[in-house]
């Protein structure tokens, strides 16, 4: 029941079905915002319950407005209030009494867009809403968005009321402002025409060789004109005034390694900014090639140039680092004597490590830096230093006295000096009692000593070799009861020699009795026996005079070859033909000083030996050696 009543009220009650009520109006009307439009409209209603003098009222409402309570947007009823938002802009220009419902809309606003319907009132019967035959008002925007290309052009607005024969227009000069855009970077090499760099990823990349001339150009479109600047690593290199010349250039007359980096061109005005970057890589061959050295695990590095001599103590560790500057990085490698060395660190071939320097490492090491634009190399000479290694001393009796020689090898070359007891023997004595003759060749140092005149019993003669890395000495001791000599190679003097002699005496006496070879003849000739009055010291390093048979045998004998190579300048066996007695000296290791470096494995395995010569067995007085029987000899070696 409620819905029919509501519809009857909105549509004019029972008149809703009366075909005598009709209206003609456009279903949709479009008007640009801010402009005006006329909406033609006509309608008809029955002539019932009204006369010619009865006033006719017309109303335009927005859709869904209750006509009895809501305000119309336009009406000819002077006592009826109209909607505030449309007052003065919406006007019912038609006469409802004549069936004219035309409407004029001025200064259309976006909120005016809606559905509208018309209502007529005349007399008691004509009160009708044309709900289903209204119009829809569409408000559009007449807009013009200027672009940068419209700057400094004319814009004209023209309005034409053709039915009234009225038109109007207005023209303005456009001043279009916009933020920087279309920023472009170009490059000129050696005064050639500028070209844009090829992008690699998001940032253009430029390679240039050291010393080339480069000119970087930057331009941008903007209004008002933008301020341009060139920046390298947040450092402004060039800046232009907004009204300055365009484009902005940055000149690099001769590019250097330090010019590499990211160059950024910025354009900025009050409406915004834009920027672009360029990566410059300056390429150049290896420069300042050098070697950084760390010895014995020291953290402090020292720089060495080409041709440097590098002394290193044997057994120490050594690290050589080849360093250079180039772009792109050079390929580094190490060689020695023309042979390429394997890098200690494959990831860094410029590093060469020698954990334990040996003598065979001595020589020239070369670091090579290879590069497409050129190569370099740097060489250094490795000199392995080690403390003295003493050879000798050895002595022999000659016609003019005792002659001794001593040799030593070391790096740097050692110095040699002789001591007689506590007396230092240098040069030649004023009484011609001794004469010292030094010589040297490379790492070898040689010294000969000639002693003239009588020698006191129990004298001690020492040869000492030394350099900055250590010292070593050897001594010779004369026994009190014979002109026999026992040679020892130790640095603690005659006390150790006496101890060794006593030890040999106590330990070897029973051994010698058992190990002396017994040469038997086919006729079972009895061998001679030791004299009860003989001692072991009588047979140590004492060569008796040879009989005719022994002399004949000695002429046929061939001297044994020496155990160690003779140093340069040492006397040869031929030079000793006139010597009456020859003594071979053993070599014992000397205790190491705190300043000496650890010896190599080869040095640790060096054999020290001693030779005890027993020239012959002294027969008892009552025992006569058969004619033709030769003396027996034996040699005891301690290795």
- Contact call for residues 78 and 165 (beta carbons, < 8 A): no
Burial class, 168, CB count within 10 angstroms (exposed 0-12 / middle 13-18 / buried 19+): exposed
Q: Is 407 helix (H, G, I), strand (E, B) or coil?
A: strand
Euclidean distance between CA atoms 134 and 132, whole angstroms: 6
Q: Residue 107: is its pLDDT beyond 70?
A: yes
Residues 328 and 223 occupy one common structural domain: no
Q: Residue 384: is its pLDDT beyond 60?
A: yes
- Contact call for residues 315 and 356 (beta carbons, < 8 A): yes
Q: Residue 627: is its pLDDT beyond 70?
A: no
Angstrom CA distances, 437 to 93, 354, 395, 403, stand at 147, 40, 14, 11
Instruction: Kindly report the number of other CB atoms within 10 A of residue 94's CB atom.
Output: 21
For the chain, what is the domain count? Answer: 4
Euclidean distance between CA atoms 557 and 573, whole angstroms: 14
- What is the pLDDT confidence band of residue 431, given thresholds at 50, 70 and 90? low
pLDDT higher at 452 or 339: 339
- What is the pLDDT confidence band of residue 394, given thresholds at 50, 70 and 90? confident
pLDDT higher at 610 or 249: 249
Residues 47 and 132 occupy one common structural domain: yes
Instruction: Note the pLDDT of residue 128.
Output: 95
Instruction: Note the pLDDT of residue 21.
Output: 94
- 266, 283, 300 — which closes off a domain? 283
Q: Does 438 fall in a domain?
A: yes
| Nearby residues of 18 by Cβ (< 8 Å), 6 or more positions away | 46
Q: How many percent of the chain have pLDDT more than 90?
A: 36
Q: Does 465 fall in a domain?
A: yes
Tell me the two tokens of residue 266. Answer: 């910025």
Residues 254 and 329 occupy one common structural domain: no
Residues 215 and 228 occupy one common structural domain: yes
- pLDDT one-digit tens code per residue, 497-524: 444 454 555 555 555 555 444 444 333 4
Q: Which of 69-78, 418-427, 467-476: highest mean pLDDT? A: 69-78
Q: Does 628 fall in a domain?
A: no
Residues 129 and 37 occupy one common structural domain: yes
pLDDT higher at 303 or 240: 240
Confidence (pTM): 0.49
Q: Does 498 fall in a domain?
A: no
- What is the pLDDT confidence band of residue 110, given thresholds at 50, 70 and 90? very high
Q: Residue 434: is its pLDDT beyond 60?
A: yes
Q: Is 78 helix (H, G, I), strand (E, B) or coil?
A: coil
Q: Residue 367: is its pLDDT beyond 50?
A: yes
Q: Does 595 fall in a domain?
A: no
Q: Does 502 fall in a domain?
A: no
Instruction: Note the pLDDT of residue 524.
Output: 41
Residues 348 and 396 occupy one common structural domain: no
Instruction: Note the pLDDT of residue 196.
Output: 66
Instruction: Note the pLDDT of residue 72.
Output: 96
Q: Does 589 fall in a domain?
A: no
Position of tokens 């009132």? 121
- 230, 256, 283 — which closes off a domain? 283
Comparing 278-287, 449-458, 589-598, the range with the smallest average pLDDT is: 589-598
Angstrom CA distances, 100 to 42, 75, 92, 157, 431, stand at 5, 12, 9, 33, 164
Residues 254 and 295 occupy one common structural domain: no
Domain that holds residue 441: 387-479
Residues 210 and 278 occupy one common structural domain: yes
Q: Residue 2: is its pLDDT beyond 50?
A: no
Return the CATH number at 235. 2.60.40.10
Instruction: Note the pLDDT of residue 577.
Output: 40
- pLDDT one-digit tens code per residue, 207-240: 899 999 999 999 999 999 999 999 998 899 999 8
Residues 321 and 374 occupy one common structural domain: yes
- pLDDT one-digit tens code per residue, 589-606: 333 333 333 343 333 333
Residues 126 and 89 occupy one common structural domain: yes
Residues 246 and 297 occupy one common structural domain: no
Instruction: Note the pLDDT of residue 486.
Output: 42
Q: Does 217 fall in a domain?
A: yes
Residues 338 and 263 occupy one common structural domain: no
């Amino acid at each position: 029941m409620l819905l029919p009543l509501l519809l009857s009220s909105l549509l004019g009650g029972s008149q809703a079905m009366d075909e005598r009520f009709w209206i003609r109006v456009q279903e949709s009307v479009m008007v640009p915002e801010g402009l005006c439009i006329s909406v033609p409209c006509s309608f008809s209603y029955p002539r019932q319950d009204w006369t010619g003098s009865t006033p006719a009222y017309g109303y335009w409402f927005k859709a869904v407005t209750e006509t009895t309570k809501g305000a119309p947007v336009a009406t000819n009823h002077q006592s009826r209030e109209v909607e505030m938002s449309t007052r003065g802009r919406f006007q019912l220009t038609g006469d409802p009494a004549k069936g004219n419902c035309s409407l004029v809309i001025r200064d259309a606003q976006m909120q005016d867009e809606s559905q509208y319907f018309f209502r007529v009132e005349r007399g008691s019967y004509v009160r009708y809403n044309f709900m289903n035959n209204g119009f829809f008002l569409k408000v559009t925007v007449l807009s013009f968005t200027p672009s940068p290309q419209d700057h400094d052009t004319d814009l004209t607005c023209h309005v034409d009321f053709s039915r009234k024969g009225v038109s109007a227009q207005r023209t303005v000069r456009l001043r279009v402002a916009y933020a920087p855009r279309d920023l472009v970077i170009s490059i000129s090499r050696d005064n050639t025409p500028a070209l844009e760099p090829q992008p690699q990823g998001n940032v253009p990349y430029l390679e240039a060789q050291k010393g080339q001339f480069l000119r970087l150009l930057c331009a941008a479109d903007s209004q008002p004109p933008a301020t341009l600047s060139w920046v390298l690593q947040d450092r402004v290199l060039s800046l232009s005034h907004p009204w300055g010349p365009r484009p902005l250039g940055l000149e690099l007359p001769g590019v250097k390694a330090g010019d590499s980096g990211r160059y950024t061109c910025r354009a900025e005005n009050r409406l915004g900014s834009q920027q672009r970057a360029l990566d410059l890589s300056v390429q150049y061959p290896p420069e300042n090639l050098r070697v950084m050295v760390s010895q014995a695990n020291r953290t402090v590095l020292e720089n060495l140039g080409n041709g440097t001599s590098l002394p290193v103590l044997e057994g120490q560790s050594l690290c050589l680092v080849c360093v250079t500057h180039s772009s792109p990085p050079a390929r580094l490698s190490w060689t020695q004597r023309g042979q390429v060395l394997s890098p200690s660190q494959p990831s860094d071939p410029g590093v060469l490590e020698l954990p334990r320097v040996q003598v065979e490492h001595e020589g020239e090491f070369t670091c090579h830096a290879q590069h497409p634009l050129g190569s370099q190399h740097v060489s250094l000479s490795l000199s392995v230093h080690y403390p003295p290694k003493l050879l000798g001393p050895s002595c022999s009796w000659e016609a003019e006295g005792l002659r001794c020689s001593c040799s030593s090898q070391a790096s740097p070359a050692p110095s040699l000096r002789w001591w007689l007891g506590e007396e230092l023997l240098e040069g030649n004595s004023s009484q011609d009692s001794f004469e010292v003759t030094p010589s040297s060749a490379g790492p070898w140092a040689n010294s000969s000593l000639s002693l003239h005149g009588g020698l006191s019993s129990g004298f001690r003669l020492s040869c000492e070799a030394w350099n900055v890395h250590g010292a070593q000495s050897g001594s010779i001791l004369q026994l009190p009861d014979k002109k026999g000599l026992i040679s020892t190679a130790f640095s603690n003097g005659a006390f150790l020699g006496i101890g060794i002699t006593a030890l040999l005496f106590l330990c070897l006496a029973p051994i010698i009795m058992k190990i002396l070879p017994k040469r038997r003849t086919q006729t079972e000739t009895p061998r001679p026996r030791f004299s009860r009055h003989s001692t072991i010291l009588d047979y140590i390093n004492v060569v008796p005079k040879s009989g005719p048979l022994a002399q004949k045998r000695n002429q046929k004998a061939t001297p044994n070859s020496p155990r160690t190579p003779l140093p340069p300048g040492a006397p040869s066996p031929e030079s000793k033909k006139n010597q009456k007695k020859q003594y071979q000296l053993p070599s014992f290791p000397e205790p190491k000083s705190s300043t000496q470096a650890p010896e190599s494995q080869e040095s640790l395995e060096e054999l020290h030996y001693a030779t005890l010569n027993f020239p012959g067995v002294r027969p008892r007085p009552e025992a006569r050696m058969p004619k033709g029987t030769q003396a027996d000899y034996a040699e005891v070696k301690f290795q």
